[in-house]
Amino acid sequence: MAALTLAAMAVGFGWLPSAHQDFSAGGVWDSICRAAGVPSSWGAKDSQRGAPAVASNVILLPEMTRTASTAAVGRGATLALNCTMCHGMKGMSRSDAPNLAGQYPEVIMKQLADYKSGKRGSPIMAALSKNLSDENIKDLAAYYASLPKARTAPTMYDESLPALVRVGAPMRNIAPCISCHGGVDQKLGAPWLEGMPKDYLVQQLQLFKKGERRNDGQLQMRNVANAMTAEEIDAVATFYARKALPVRE
């Protein structure tokens, strides 16, 4: 019985977990947790636990996703003339700023409100957003949401996708990217990432990882990015930026 027990433990805690391509257990405890179906660690590092769990004043509501009126889109187009230097004439950036064309309206509303309130840091965006009214923010969101997205195919579930994009890393408390960021599903307030500039995606993941960007409710992105390696950050950013085609303006 003792020999059978030891053999079963070796298979369950060692051989079977290591057969998976994404196996990254760092010791006996990681192997036990993986076999038991629970993460070996939870949440951010201690250095981030003191950070505010809720770092945004924005309450995301389903009505924020409703199609706006033509008048709102027109007003937003006029306001967006102040945004073209970084975000492009048609919402497609040539300066590693985020592409806004076709972005979900509630995402733009939230981020502009967070810049305005100081919940998300950027000297340029703070200056541009400080005088925007709530109506201005809604109009800008309506305009950018009305523009065609980058010429990419939405990411759907496929075995060829990177592991973190497709299934995440449950034992490290990392959810699949596609479960929130479009393709398979979209969580209210989670941005569309297809065709985003790679350098921008890398920068934002690094800021979340360091705890320097804190406008994610309940540390959602900080917890995910904290568990990612530099190689994984680069791979995810490369994947989402991979299909972007040159845009002629």
Q: 8: pLDDT confidence band, cut at 50, 70 and 90?
A: confident
Task: Say which residue, 50 or 209, is predicted with more confidence.
Answer: 209
Tens digit of each residue's pLDDT (9 = 90 or more) over 113-133: 999 999 999 999 999 999 999
What is the chain's mean pLDDT, rounded? 84
Strand partners for 169? 174
Q: What is the pTM of this model?
A: 0.78
Token pair of 40 as six digits: 């070996």
CB atoms within 10 A of CB 124: 11
Average pLDDT over residues 89-99: 93
Fold of 62-146: Cytochrome Bc1 Complex; Chain D, domain 2 (1.10.760)
Average pLDDT over residues 84-106: 94
Q: Which CATH number fits domain 151-241: 1.10.760.10, 3.40.50.450, 1.10.10.10, 2.60.120.10?
A: 1.10.760.10
Percent of the chain with pLDDT over 90: 62
In angstroms, the CA 201 to CA 67 distance is 27
Is the per-residue pLDDT at 237 higher than 90? yes
Average pLDDT over residues 69-91: 97
Predicted pLDDT at 206: 98
In angstroms, the CA 231 to CA 235 distance is 6
In angstroms, the CA 217 to CA 35 distance is 30
Is the per-residue pLDDT at 100 higher than 90? yes
Is the per-residue pLDDT at 244 higher than 60? no
Predicted pLDDT at 132: 98
Which sequence spans correspond to the domains of the chain? 62-146, 151-241
Least confident of 40-44, 90-94, 99-103, 188-192: 40-44
Tens digit of each residue's pLDDT (9 = 90 or more) over 146-194: 999 876 656 776 777 889 999 999 999 999 999 999 777 789 999 999 9
CB 30 within 8 A of CB 37: no
Least confident of 9-13, 20-24, 37-41, 83-87: 20-24
Task: Say which residue, 127 or 1, is predicted with more confidence.
Answer: 127
Domain 62-146 identical in fold to domain 151-241: yes
Of 226, 232, 215, which Cα lies nearest the Cα of 113? 215
Predicted pLDDT at 46: 44
Tens digit of each residue's pLDDT (9 = 90 or more) over 217-234: 889 999 999 999 999 999
In angstroms, the CA 157 to CA 166 distance is 6
Instruction: Report CA-CA distances (Å) from 210 to 96, 118, 158.
Output: 20, 18, 31
Predicted pLDDT at 40: 54
